[in-house]
């Protein structure tokens, strides 16, 4: 009898991936499911990136690459950091991985050990807490509620710091809330963090380009904390390259070296063809993303208008990423057809069976009063989904 490790047994399955699998299965059974569960752009990878991939194959870039990524790729990322974020990262401060997910895991495994505390402001992206648990760290969740635009302040951060604190992990723009930290808000966090230079911060900025309020702000821009911040980014979201698997970090050299070492044992460098194609994305002017961002913004407005028209639903106004994270706690205790909605998990099950819409429970993101809607779908699909949700919610009494 095979016995799985305690480490594996303590790990939760990714709720985003579980829900998208479930909706795929139901669709295969012939059910008309609308899946708004996975955070994945519904656009195709731009042609110039695909062309660069073909060229890479034709030029036989098909063998092992340096573990942290090809030199020319890391040089193009270094220039991107400077151009878009005003950040100075030399090539040897950059490590390219098999998705930002692996970048985060590399950093956590490099820094966090048994008993170390990692502050994770909730709502958080599903995988942060599980990755910390794999490293045998202790996630310390602090909650930023809907009334605070789901963002924490420096004061709240400082209150959670103990002698065991080793790390802070957060995302801006945030998955699942769509909240974006302003420069002033980041500076407020930086003023606290600079007093604790041993605390490493993972600033996950993978949604940087999907921002409806103008300029993206990076935490590492503040010299006071530059030496303790790891900036995470990748091509999955803005460049619609989820399947290509490439994420990267800009980090203090000691952390980049550590990630290089971890990756050298776990996976080696990511796909050679993906790396060469990513150079084309890094060199492109982000202005080419304008139409996609406009499309996301129109969808955001559509979904928000629909949610505001649903009694009992309280929606925050997201200003980045492609998610809305409405609070639905006013329905808890209500029933329809013998099914009672006790919590956000139940609400997702109810909407899946009654509205045939797949969403993700807020529990997976550390907020049990909310559900996550990914609006990376066409306006037609979103309109249909919102109508179905509205009707299903109206039945609960
Ligand atoms: N961070 C956040 C906040 C995300 O939403 C995702 C989802 N893909 C990732 C990291 C990981 O991205 P990937 O591994 O596709 O680069
Ligand atoms: N990050 C996306 C999401 O939150 C993709 C799924 C995943 O990587 O977990 O839905």
DSSP one-letter code for 286: G
Is 38 touching ligand 2 by the criterion CB < 6 Å? yes
pLDDT tens per residue across span 121-131: 999 999 999 99
Reference 246, options 267, 219, 228, 215; nearest CA is: 267
Q: CB atoms < 10 A from the CB of 44, how many?
A: 10
- Taken in order of first residue, the domains within the chain and their CATH numbers are 6-44+289-395 (3.90.1150.10), 47-284 (3.40.640.10)
Is 39 touching ligand 1 by the criterion CB < 6 Å? yes
pLDDT of res. 2 = 96
Q: Is 136 left (phi over 0), alpha (psi -120 to 50) or beta?
A: left
Mean pLDDT of 158-167: 98
Q: Is 255 helix (H, G, I), strand (E, B) or coil?
A: helix
Mean pLDDT of 155-168: 98
pLDDT at 117 over 90: yes
Centre of ligand 2 from the C-alpha of residue 17, in Å? 7
Is 41 touching ligand 1 by the criterion CB < 6 Å? no
Asked if residue 322 lies in contact with residue 296, where contact means CB atoms within 8 angstroms, the answer is yes
Please state, in angstroms and rounded to a whole number, the distance separating the CA atoms of residues 319 and 169.
Answer: 20
Mean pLDDT of 27-47: 92
Is 234 touching ligand 1 by the criterion CB < 6 Å? yes
Centre of ligand 1 from the C-alpha of residue 125, in Å? 8
Q: Is 140 helix (H, G, I), strand (E, B) or coil?
A: strand
pLDDT of res. 282 = 98
DSSP one-letter code for 388: H
Q: Which of 77, 99, 181 to mutate to test the pocket of ligand 1 (most atoms within 8 A of CB)?
A: 99
Reference 330, options 358, 311, 345; nearest CA is: 311
pLDDT of res. 310 = 98
Give the distance between the most distant pair of CA atoms in the chain: 64
pLDDT of res. 343 = 94
Residue 113 pLDDT level (bands cut at 50, 70, 90): very high
Residue 257 pLDDT level (bands cut at 50, 70, 90): very high
Centre of ligand 2 from the C-alpha of residue 195, in Å? 33
Q: Is 317 helix (H, G, I), strand (E, B) or coil?
A: coil
Q: Is 361 helix (H, G, I), strand (E, B) or coil?
A: strand
Q: Which of 173, 206, 235 to mutate to test the pocket of ligand 1 (most atoms within 8 A of CB)?
A: 206
Average pLDDT, the chain: 96
Which ligand 2 atom sits closest to the C-alpha of 175?
Answer: 4
Q: Is 208 helix (H, G, I), strand (E, B) or coil?
A: coil
pLDDT of res. 23 = 86
Is 14 touching ligand 2 by the criterion CB < 6 Å? yes
Please state, in angstroms and rounded to a whole number, the distance separating the CA atoms of residues 274 and 234.
Answer: 12
pLDDT of res. 22 = 83
Centre of ligand 1 from the C-alpha of residue 40, in Å? 9
- The residue nearest atom 12 of ligand 1, judged by CA position, is 100
**Helix and strand tally (H, E) in the chain?**
13, 14
Alpha helices in the chain (DSSP H): 6-9, 15-28, 47-58, 71-85, 100-111, 127-134, 154-160, 183-193, 253-266, 272-283, 290-308, 344-350, 379-395
Asked if residue 200 lies in contact with residue 108, where contact means CB atoms within 8 angstroms, the answer is no
For the chain, percent of residues with pLDDT exceeding 90: 92
Within 13 A of 149's CA, how many CA atoms are on the CB side? 15
Mean pLDDT of 46-52: 98
Could you tell me which residues come within 8 angstroms of residue 262 by beta carbon, excluding any fewer than 6 positions away? 106, 109, 110
Dihedral Cα 65, 68, 70, 72, nearest 10 deg? 180
Centre of ligand 2 from the C-alpha of residue 126, in Å? 8
- The residue nearest atom 5 of ligand 2, judged by CA position, is 39
pLDDT of res. 157 = 98
User: Model's pTM, two decimal places?
Assistant: 0.96
pLDDT of res. 17 = 84
Centre of ligand 1 from the C-alpha of residue 104, in Å? 9
Backbone dihedral angles phi then psi of residue 321, each to the nearest 5 degrees: 55, -160
pLDDT of res. 24 = 87
Task: Give the strand pairing for 371-374 and 360-361.
Answer: antiparallel
Centre of ligand 2 from the C-alpha of residue 356, in Å? 20
Residue 330 pLDDT level (bands cut at 50, 70, 90): very high
Is 17 touching ligand 2 by the criterion CB < 6 Å? yes
Please state, in angstroms and rounded to a whole number, the distance separating the CA atoms of residues 199 and 195.
Answer: 9
Please state, in angstroms and rounded to a whole number, the distance separating the CA atoms of residues 379 and 362.
Answer: 24
Reference 350, options 394, 302, 306; nearest CA is: 394
């Amino acid at each position: 009898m095979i016995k799985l490790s305690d480490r594996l047994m303590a790990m939760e399955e990714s709720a985003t991936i579980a829900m998208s699998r479930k909706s795929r299965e139901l669709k295969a059974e012939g059910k008309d499911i609308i899946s708004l569960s996975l955070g994945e752009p519904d656009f195709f990878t731009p042609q110039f990136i695909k062309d660069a991939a073909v060229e890479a194959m034709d030029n036989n870039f098909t063998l092992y690459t340096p573990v942290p990524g090809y030199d020319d790729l890391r040089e193009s990322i270094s220039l991107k950091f400077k151009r878009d974020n005003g950040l100075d990262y030399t090539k040897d401060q950059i490590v390219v991985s098999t998705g930002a997910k692996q970048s985060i895991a590399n950093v956590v495994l490099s820094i966090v050990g048994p008993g170390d505390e990692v502050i994770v402001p909730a709502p958080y992206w599903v995988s942060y807490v599980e990755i910390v648990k794999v490293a045998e760290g202790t996630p310390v969740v602090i909650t930023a509620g809907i009334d605070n635009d789901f963002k924490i302040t420096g004061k709240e951060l400082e209150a959670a710091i103990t002698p065991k604190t080793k790390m802070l992990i957060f995302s801006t723009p945030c998955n699942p809330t769509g909240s974006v930290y302003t420069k002033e808000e980041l500076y407020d966090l930086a003023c606290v963090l600079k007093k604790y230079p041993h605390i490493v911060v993972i600033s996950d900025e993978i949604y940087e380009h999907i921002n409806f309020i103008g300029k993206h702000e990076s935490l590492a821009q503040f010299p006071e904390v530059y030496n303790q911040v790891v900036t995470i980014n990748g091509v999955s979201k803005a460049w619609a390259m989820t399947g290509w698997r490439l994420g990267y970090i800009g980090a203090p050299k000691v952390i980049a070296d550590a990630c290089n070492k971890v990756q050298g044992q776990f996976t080696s460098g990511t796909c050679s063809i993906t790396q060469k194609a990513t150079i084309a994305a890094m060199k492109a002017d982000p202005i080419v993303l304008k139409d996609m961002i406009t499309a996301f913004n129109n969808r955001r407005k559509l979904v928000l208008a629909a949610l505001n028209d649903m009694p009992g639903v309280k929606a925050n106004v997201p200003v980045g990423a492609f998610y809305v994270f409405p609070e639905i706690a006013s329905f808890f205790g209500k029933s329809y057809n013998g099914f009672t909605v006790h919590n956000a998990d139940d609400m997702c099950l109810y909407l899946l069976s009654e509205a045939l819409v797949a969403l993700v429970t807020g529990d997976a993101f550390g907020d049990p009063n909310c559900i996550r809607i990914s609006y990376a779908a066409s306006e037609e699909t979103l309109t249909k989904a919102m109508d179905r949700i509205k009707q299903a919610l109206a039945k609960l009494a």
